[in-house]
Amino acid sequence: MQLFNQLHPEWQVVLAPHKVLIESIANSIDSEKVAPKFELIFRALSQPLSNTKVVIFGQDPYPTLGHAHGLAFSVNKNVSRLPPSLRNIFEELSNDLGEAKRSNGDLSDWFNQGVLLLNRILTTEIGSSMAHATVGWQAVTNSVAEELGKHDVVAILWGKSAGELRKFFREGFVIESVHPSPLSAYRGFFGSKPFSACNEILIRNGLAPIDWK
């Protein structure tokens, strides 16, 4: 299956100018060593653009074998020891909404509600972070951000890499803080209340809130 064909038809239209680049990337990576699995690389863009209400940008996939499954920050449901950034996300989620701390690291339920969980770099090599930082993914995901900014999509931007995309989104639709990694979470991620803030924006614009639990 060609990589471009993994995209939902609505995203194929948006990303048609990058079709040659996408296939070039596909040819340059080792499908046996890639994270996530080859058939999940475009999972985040497998649903209609028109269904998207929120986007959360990550940096690149988890390099640990069996963790990444095509959605930023999310891990396969059988992963019991969650990555540190995801644990911090769930800590803030619990404090923000006053709910019990979530333990299921598979964020497919968010995705199915219209939350696009997109890494800026869509692949890496198993065992190596940022292995594909220079293959060209940023051009593709920048175009995704630019398109989302034309719609009433709330952008949740955590950290410097995600913050570079702020220019594509309208004021009033951006929630921004430092990254939830252990290196920075205590410098402004904890206490930022992004989940309730996001739902307030959605409700204000006549859209159903996300059930983050």
Q: How far apart are CA 56 and CA 163, in angstroms?
A: 11
What residues contact 39, with CB distance under 8 A and at least 6 apart? 1, 6
Burial class for 161, CB neighbours closer than 10 Å (0-12, 13-18, 19+): middle
- Is the pLDDT score of 153 beyond 70? yes
CA angle 64, 12, 140 (to 5 degrees): 50
So what's the pLDDT on residue 175? 98
So what's the pLDDT on residue 89? 98
In order of their start, the domains of the chain are: 3-79+111-177 (3.40.470.10)
What does the mean pLDDT of the chain come to?
97
Contact indicator for 54, 116 with CB cutoff of 8 Å: yes
Whether 60 sits among the annotated catalytic residues: the reply is: yes
Q: Which of 60, 96, 109, 152 is catalytic?
A: 60
Contact indicator for 102, 94 with CB cutoff of 8 Å: yes
So what's the pLDDT on residue 109? 98
Q: What is the pLDDT of residues 30-80, one digit of tens each?
A: 999 999 999 999 999 999 999 999 999 999 999 999 999 999 999 999 999
Residues 102-108: what's their mean pLDDT? Answer: 97
Helices 194-204 and 84-97: angle between axes, nearest 10 degrees = 60
Contact indicator for 62, 134 with CB cutoff of 8 Å: no
H or E stretch at 23: helix 19-28
CA nearest neighbour of 28 among 123, 147, 140: 123
> Letter for the amino acid at 82?
L
- Is the pLDDT score of 125 beyond 70? yes
What are the backbone angles phi and psi of residue 97, rounded to the nearest 5°? -100, -5
So what's the pLDDT on residue 1? 62
Residues 189-213: what's their mean pLDDT? Answer: 97
Transcribe 140-159 into DSSP letters. HHHHHHHHHTTTT-EEEEEH
> Letter for the amino acid at 31?
S
Q: What is the pTM of this model?
A: 0.95
Report the share of the chain in percent with pLDDT over 90.
100
pLDDT band at 8 (very low <50, low <70, confident <90, very high): very high
Terminal CA-CA length for the chain: 35
Q: How far apart are CA 202 and CA 114, in angstroms?
A: 12
Half-sphere exposure (Cβ direction) of 158: Cα atoms closer than 13 Å: 32
So what's the pLDDT on residue 64? 97
